[in-house]
Structure 1
Amino acid sequence: MNFPVVEFPWLGNGTVIAIIAIVHVIVSHGVAIGITTLMVSMEHRAIHTNNEQLESVARKCSKWVLIFTTTVGAMTGVGIWFSTTVIQPDSIGSLLRIFFWAWFVEWIVFVTEVVLLIIYYFTWDKWKGAKKVIHNRIGIALAIFSWITAAIITGILSAKLTPGRWTETLSFWNAFFNPTYMPSLAFRTFIAIILGVALLSFPIKIFIKNKELQQEIFRVFSFWTAISLPGLLITGIWYLQSIPQEAYDMIVWSTGMTKNTFTIMNVLGLAAFVIFAFWMVLRPKKLPLLLSLAIFGTSMAFIAEFEAVRESVRKPFIIYNYMYANGVLAKNEDLYREEGYLKHSTFSPVKEVTSDNRAQAGMELYKGQCMACHTVDGWREKRAFSNRLNGWDEESIASYIETLHETRPFMPPFVGTEEEKKALAHYLSKVTKKEPVTAVSEGK
């Protein structure tokens, strides 16, 4: 532990990050890129068809894009920084050292995006006649800058799974333009458009009663869906072929579903989108409200699944082949096994295991090597030790710790001395039995 630890004992640290990240992806992809693209496209069509009603819909969309981007989007963006910094400081520290200038540029792009959005929204009444074209071009620039933001962040996120030659060269360019950068960026681009369609279709069916206007809106949506749905499938396959085989093999496991359930759910979701796309093209005035709701729910479920899979398939690493999910550098394994993990743990009050401090030493080892994914109690029973280890004795726990990375390849290996392994087993045995752990002062 090179930094102080923060624990969310019932939810789990990973769950806290996941909740914030999923909401942020919905806004940053679905709203900032997807809905912005649809909004600007509706305005473009309204200008060329002189359709004031369609222009009014685009204008209302700009209001909600402004609200969600500058509130929920900005807050969850900062929330990701805050939560990951206090929960996974080793990981964020490494990424900052690699991608400092990329993040710096991304903030400049984001500020530009917000400025363009403010200009776009507050000039609807001022730019009339021929100036509408200029207004629409501001919107196009807004959509481009929103996409550039995602393009920069994708380089950072994809490097965590496939750092490529960075582990050898430590070059920023090798890390950023890693093996999955292009397929990941293309895949996310099409996801953003489809998500934007899904987010807007349901409220349009509820609040817009004019069937002719609905037809015009869905004509725009169907154009982008016709491009994005096949693009999503093609780039999705490209992405899957680009990730490591070990990561590919963990996709189904990471969802928590059986293989059959995973296949059925995803095929049904895809079928719903295909039906929705054809219905928009062939009978836009008769598009069922229930189908729009189904697409809305399916898109939310897919984003949650995608983010869960993206985070989980890296295991046992958080930065592939470089840093384990608990923040331990792979290169330090042998050092910690020989000299001890606690000795090199900056913020641990215990530096070596004694007969008096076994439980406290075990607790510090739990914080440093287990807490990133596990809890003592909590809602995720499979990761709560009080449930997982119920009925296990100390010897059985110690034996399992020794081979856990072999029996469960998605778990990092325990790195520490024999005494530290037994201390961790002792602590886990106590908390499983709900026995108190008493801190022992170092002088004792």
Structure 2
Amino acid sequence: MEYPVWQIPYFGGGILVAVIAVVHVFVAHFAVGGGLFLVLTEMLGHRRASRGILDYVRGHTLFFLLLTMVFGSLTGVAIWFIIALTNPAATLTLIRTYTFGWATEWVFFLGEIVTLLVYHYTFDSMERRRHLLVGWLYFGFGWLSLFMINGIIGSMLTPGDWVATGNFWDGFFNPSFWPSLVFRSLLAFSIAGLFAFLTAMRIEDDDLRLTLTRFAAMWAAVPVVLMAPVAWWYFGALPEISQAMITGRNNEIAPFLRAFLTAGPVVVAASLLMAARMPRSLGSLVAVLLLTAGFVQIGSFEWIREAARRPWIIVGHTYSNAITVADVARVEAEGFLKVAKWVEHREITQENRLDAGREIFVKQCLACHSVGGPSNDILPLTAKFTVVGMDSQLNGQGKLNDYMPPFFGTEEERGALAAYIVETLHGGAAEVPLAAEAVRRSGGTVDVPPFDPKADEYVLLAWNNLGMHCISDSDPFWILLPPANDLYCQLVRRGETPELVTEGVKITYRADDAFMNPSGHVRFWAFAESLFGKRLEANVGVSGNGLSGEMHFDEKLGAFEAGLIPVAPYPDEGGYNPYPLFTVEAHDATTGELLARTRTVAPTSTEMGCRNCHGGAWRVAGVAGFTDETSADVLAVHDRISKTDLLATAQSGKPMLCQSCHPDPVLGAEGKPGLLNLPAALHGWHANYLTDRGAEACAYCHPNAEQGATRCLRGVHAERGLDCTNCHGTLEDHALSLLKREDERGAPGAKRLMRQLAPRAVAGVADVNARTPWLGEPDCLTCHVDFQPPENDDAFNVWTGDATGLYRMRRDDMGALMCAACHGSPHAEYPAVADSGYGENRDNIPSLQYVGNAGPIGSGGSCGLCHVGTDMTAGDSAHHPKGFR
């Protein structure tokens, strides 16, 4: 942020640093371990009076000098060059903090240069004791260089108290200093043995070659064995977040961890093989393979150590994109473009939005990502996102998957970066939402059954128990909810004292002809047995109900009910229609005489917004439905995050019912012990990616977008300007209310999802009232106190105690009529929107039929509908107080 960034889009800065650093570290460790190897091997030669061993040491010294002194010095300079270009801020921090340490290390390095040159050029001319002393001095200077570098580099991973104090010694003798020093020393000794194999293979004398390869085998193998307990010591010194990265939170580490754990045993086994007598040609091949295994070992170790720092370059101080903790508050308040020094655009306009997004991308993303290159290529990682999805991903970055730094900047800057990635890097056009009138199928005027208030004896009230049933037609991969809609009705015999008819009648239902064949449009029935353990006939739901049949009386509710009807929003003529209509009829059970007839909607939608973040297009009519691409990616992401194998299982023909693992009261699913219930898991996870938004956050997933093909919230509350947040709170509030209940019951994942969420409707998390999904819902009487017109429009945080308190389950004060019978379905209360786009007054058919307008049944002085010939306006209503206003 303080310095210009070297732009290398294809490779990215990280890969160049990694390649140069691993090569240098490999050689540098050889310089340390090889120094001890030289002097001890020379001592072996003198002890055995072996001219052959001494000649080998002299030759090995020349190889050692050229590799460590010449090539090692060049790669060391290259490291300084590349880190100064790719992350100058962190480099400068290390220089300023450890100036004395660097100066000391350079003195030791100068000592290495002098003593190694003396050691080599006086090999046969200097007196033995003095020559050995020079060798010991070289090793001492080399190991002290490692000592200094280890303290400085180790502080980037485990800075300890240095973050708070800035004290040299707090940073240098950091928590991982000693285990790291011992580990690296052992690694250096092992590498010395590996290089010794290479030069020993040049010896023609079989006995001498065998003697030296066995000596080298001890050097290569023994330190690796000793490294195992030291590695555990080292791991224990790391902070908890770094341990989590190594053990699975950062998937990028996994292959390198496997490589590291494999390379060690390979080095030991192959070293023992080298100790056996073998042909020189074969030994040379094994020596090269051993050197390769050693390179893999140290390379994977360095990669793991670097990746374990994520999202930091200096843990707790500087993020990997060079933004320091001290800068964050200012960047968040003023905006990244206003604070960063080396940018062209300070303000974002419609004209420069993509250019500004490119500048943010260069400064905040290129440090770790390449564009089309070999390291963390950002193109496949972001190919699936829409602009909305990319913006959400950036919003949640660094919260749950904390191996990436958070996005730093304003919402406007975040949107510009999202647009740049989607529209420029991927060449996609901005997604323009279709106008509502273009995507909604015009159904004309809906047929309202006749009703003669003078002649008809019965009133048949029918409704759906939810304003919209959301189903996922992702059947070959997973199912959130199957095709399953619920219809209810109550039959009233009109009179001076109306009677609720519960016996002697037969209530039937039937979908309109266009919706009688859902199995022709969704693949649920092909996988029903795998999902629900039962083979279902086509167009028969999990409860045994089909698209037509008889409703059964529910004593508990005092209403007739047909549950889990497998309706889908796809008419036979094609396209999409989320408002299938059903005809409900009441017949005399004995004579079969038609007593009453009405129609009601069974709203069902597949316009769920998973594709915003999981890729793929809409499956049906360009407005709804799950493609296999979207469905598969949902499982792939779940597998990556939760270490499951759901995608492979689905691809083998066994899709997943979400509630088979996650508890969920809506299906009565107990799930697996310890897992979050499904609504808490879904809302808790996604809330971290959709913070600081209003009802639009709900519409990204639920089918309620103003310009979408469905409308979930279309009742009287929507007509008066209320939205999802008035009752359920913002997504953060909603998620916290669910997660708190899970936390109270000890579900281990709740705290992690809650950690980054702050409520917006109340002062703090402690003020959020916990609730159980589907059972603890907003209570109508929170706003409609004593059934009066509301004085406020905020129902969040007051929940029904159990299912009996739910609006869709509640009955009037007499325990007779259900509230929804007269007021309409939840989210579609009378008067619902007049034109859904699929037929005028589709939601209001019963009220139009019996009252003549779209208001609640009994409103506007229409009590005579049921109370024939009786003036009901003189007293209070028996259904609920204030019923006659």
Give the alignment's TM-score, normalised by structure 1: 0.90
Query: Is the counterpart of residue 175 in structure 1 residue 171 in structure 2?
Result: yes
Within a 5 Å distance, the mapping from 1:208-287 to structure 2 comes to 208-225=203-220, 227-251=222-246, 256=252, 258=254, 262-263=257-258, 265-279=259-273, 283=276
Counterparts of 2:16 and 2:267, CA distance in 1 = 30
Query: Is the counterpart of residue 155 in structure 1 residue 173 in structure 2?
Result: no
User: Which of 394, 398, 410 in structure 1 is aligned with 2:391?
Assistant: 398
Counterparts of 1:201 and 1:417, CA distance in 2 = 58
1:3 is matched with: 3
Contact 1:385 / 1:432 at 8 angstroms: preserved in 2? no
Of Structure 1 and Structure 2, the greater strand share is in: 2
Residues 1:266 and 1:387: Cα distance change in structure 2 (over 3 Å):
closer
1:320 is matched with: 315
Contact 2:192 / 2:220 at 8 angstroms: preserved in 1? no
**Secondary structure class of the residue paired with 1:373:** coil
Between 1:218-227 and 1:98-107, the stretch displaced more is 218-227
Query: Is the counterpart of residue 195 in structure 1 residue 191 in structure 2?
Result: yes
User: Which of 373, 378, 381 in structure 2 is aligned with 1:378?
Assistant: 373
User: Which of 426, 429, 434 in structure 2 is aligned with 1:433?
Assistant: 426
Contact 1:151 / 1:185 at 8 angstroms: preserved in 2? yes
| AA matched with 1:420 | E
Identical counterparts, % of pairs: 29
Contact 2:224 / 2:264 at 8 angstroms: preserved in 1? no
Counterparts of 1:113 and 1:15, CA distance in 2 = 30
Between 1:325-334 and 1:336-345, the stretch displaced more is 325-334
User: Which of 329, 334, 345 in structure 1 is aligned with 2:329?
Assistant: 334
Deviation per CA, 1:87-146: give whole Å up to 9, x if none.
10111111111111100111111111101111111112322xxx1221121111101111
**Secondary structure class of the residue paired with 2:367:** coil
**Secondary structure class of the residue paired with 2:397:** helix
Counterparts of 2:77 and 2:251, CA distance in 1 = 27
| AA matched with 1:36 | G
Counterparts of 1:165 and 1:357, CA distance in 2 = 44
| AA matched with 2:72 | G
1:78 is matched with: 77
Contact 2:196 / 2:213 at 8 angstroms: preserved in 1? no
1:122 is matched with: 121
Higher RCO structure (Cα 8 Å, ≥6 apart):
1
Q: How far apart are 1:255 and its partner, in Å?
A: 7.5
**Secondary structure class of the residue paired with 1:179:** coil
Counterparts of 2:23 and 2:251, CA distance in 1 = 18
Residues 1:224 and 1:70: Cα distance change in structure 2 (over 3 Å):
closer
Deviation per CA, 1:272-331: give whole Å up to 9, x if none.
3333454566x4678962543432221111111011111110001111111111111123
**Secondary structure class of the residue paired with 1:377:** coil
Contact 1:41 / 1:220 at 8 angstroms: preserved in 2? no
Counterparts of 1:346 and 1:257, CA distance in 2 = 34
Counterparts of 1:224 and 1:388, CA distance in 2 = 43
| AA matched with 1:169 | T
Contact 2:186 / 2:226 at 8 angstroms: preserved in 1? yes
Counterparts of 1:337 and 1:210, CA distance in 2 = 70
| AA matched with 1:297 | T
**Secondary structure class of the residue paired with 2:399:** helix
Query: Is the counterpart of residue 59 in structure 1 residue 91 in structure 2?
Result: no
| AA matched with 1:111 | L
Between 1:175-184 and 1:70-79, the stretch displaced more is 70-79
1:136 is matched with: 132
**Secondary structure class of the residue paired with 2:76:** helix
Q: How far apart are 1:356 and its partner, in Å?
A: 2.4
Q: How far apart are 1:227 and its partner, in Å?
A: 4.9
Query: Is the counterpart of residue 50 in structure 1 residue 46 in structure 2?
Result: no
Of Structure 1 and Structure 2, the greater helix share is in: 1
Contact 2:194 / 2:216 at 8 angstroms: preserved in 1? no
Give the alignment's TM-score, normalised by structure 2: 0.46
**Secondary structure class of the residue paired with 2:313:** strand
**Secondary structure class of the residue paired with 1:367:** helix
Q: How far apart are 1:2 and its partner, in Å?
A: 0.6
- Max Rg structure: 2
Q: How far apart are 1:267 and its partner, in Å?
A: 4.8
Aligned residues: 426
Deviation per CA, 1:191-244: give whole Å up to 9, x if none.
011011112213423x12312212332353345456523331221111011111
Counterparts of 1:233 and 1:184, CA distance in 2 = 13
**Secondary structure class of the residue paired with 1:376:** coil
| AA matched with 1:409 | D
2:18 is matched with: 18
Counterparts of 2:313 and 2:67, CA distance in 1 = 30
Contact 2:175 / 2:237 at 8 angstroms: preserved in 1? yes
Contact 1:333 / 1:415 at 8 angstroms: preserved in 2? yes
Residues 1:275 and 1:376: Cα distance change in structure 2 (over 3 Å):
closer
1:424 is matched with: 417
Residues 1:117 and 1:271: Cα distance change in structure 2 (over 3 Å):
same
Unaligned 5+ segments in structure 1 are 437-444
Deviation per CA, 1:171-201: give whole Å up to 9, x if none.
1000000000010011000001101111221
| AA matched with 2:418 | A
User: Which of 372, 375, 380 in structure 2 is aligned with 1:387?
Assistant: 380
